[in-house]
Structure 1
Amino acid sequence: MLTQESITRKDFLRSMGLGGSALLAVLASCKNASDVVIPAGGISVDLATKLLSVNSYVYSNGVIIARIASGNTASSFVAVAQACTHEGTSVVYQSSGKFHCPNHGAEFNTSGAVTQGPATKSLTKYTVAVNGTTLTVS
């Protein structure tokens, strides 16, 4: 025999609050390229202390910045959105000249274009400038 339990409005709202909080936490952890906000003045990296060797990379403000060649010129670096466009996992830069998502294997070239799925959308590419030993992403 089925019975009907009564629930107070307060209990219902409390249960929704906990569920809603959990849902918001999950949604907040899912980033994509459109979530990246470059600060006024850009993202700065001190090349005297970071990105010293070819294939090294750093994350800053949702952007991955990689050294793809020797020398301190803008063409020696690339900056793209850090979050894979498939499910938001942070991509890594590999010595083969590609960005790789360790979660499901998506790959992107240094222009941010998808070279292997499951991602179907390119990573956003940002402008890199170098002045002395300061790299700026805008």
Structure 2
Amino acid sequence: MKLEKSSRREFLRWVGGLSMGTVVISLVGCDTSGMEGTGDQPPNPPSPGGNSGITIEGNTVTLDLTGSEARKVAEPGGFLHIDEADMLVVNVDGTIRAFSAICTHQGCEISSFQNNRFTCWCHGSQFDTSGRVVRGPATRALTEYSVERNGNIVRITKG
């Protein structure tokens, strides 16, 4: 069966409109502007420097627990997400622990800590304060970093 020219033209116009509609819907689905603070994506964390008490030099992050941001982990239960270092820092009963902020499921950055759990905003994986998976889809623990504390100075080394 051979299509007539007008039918072929209408068909191509319909397919072109369908394709353009799909592209528009896809692009709208990717738009994340205006979503800050809605829980749909991670909030913007504080930046190191100034009086924050956070210094990053290569693979070493130094926290001065008297600094404006670093003091968040001075007390048990405190949490800090350091975006520039892709790092999560938590004070567990007086012991400071540090982990990679990169989810082991698909590489999204974790920035949320509630009810003693780190939660990945992409697919909902949750990790305890030892970095172990407590809810998937992730199946591997977060990478833990070496932490040394001397009074109010904490040195974290990515290894």
Please classify the TM superposition score into its range, dividing by the shorter chain length. Answer: 0.5 to 0.7
Of residues 131, 136, 155 in structure 2, which corresponds to 1:112? 131
Structure 1: gaps (5+ residues): 1-37
Of residues 56, 61, 66 in structure 2, which corresponds to 1:43? 61
> In the TM superposition, what are the counterparts of 1:37-76 in structure 2 within 5 Å?
39=58, 42-49=60-67, 50-53=69-72, 54-59=77-82, 60-69=84-93, 75=95
Pairs aligned (count): 95
Query: What is the TM-score with the length of structure 1 in the denominator?
Result: 0.60
CA 1:69–1:95 in structure 2 vs 1: closer, same or farther (change >3 Å)?
farther
Root mean square deviation of aligned Cα: 2.0
Partner of 2:120: 101
The offset of 1:94, in angstroms, is: 2.1
Query: What is the TM-score with the length of structure 2 in the denominator?
Result: 0.53
The offset of 1:39, in angstroms, is: 3.0
Distance 2:87 2:113 in 1: 16
List per-residue Cα deviations over 1:45-96 (Å, max 9, x = no partner): 11111332433313142221123345xxxx1x21001110111111134231
The offset of 1:107, in angstroms, is: 0.5
Instruction: Determine what percentage of the aligned residue pairs are the same residue.
Output: 27
Structure 2 residue 107 is matched with structure 1 residue 88: yes
Partner of 2:24: none
CA 1:55–1:132 in structure 2 vs 1: closer, same or farther (change >3 Å)?
closer
Structure 2: gaps (5+ residues): 1-56
The offset of 1:110, in angstroms, is: 1.5
Distance 1:93 1:47 in 2: 20
User: Which amino acid in 2 is paired with 1:103?
Assistant: C
What SS is found at the alignment partner of 1:52?
helix
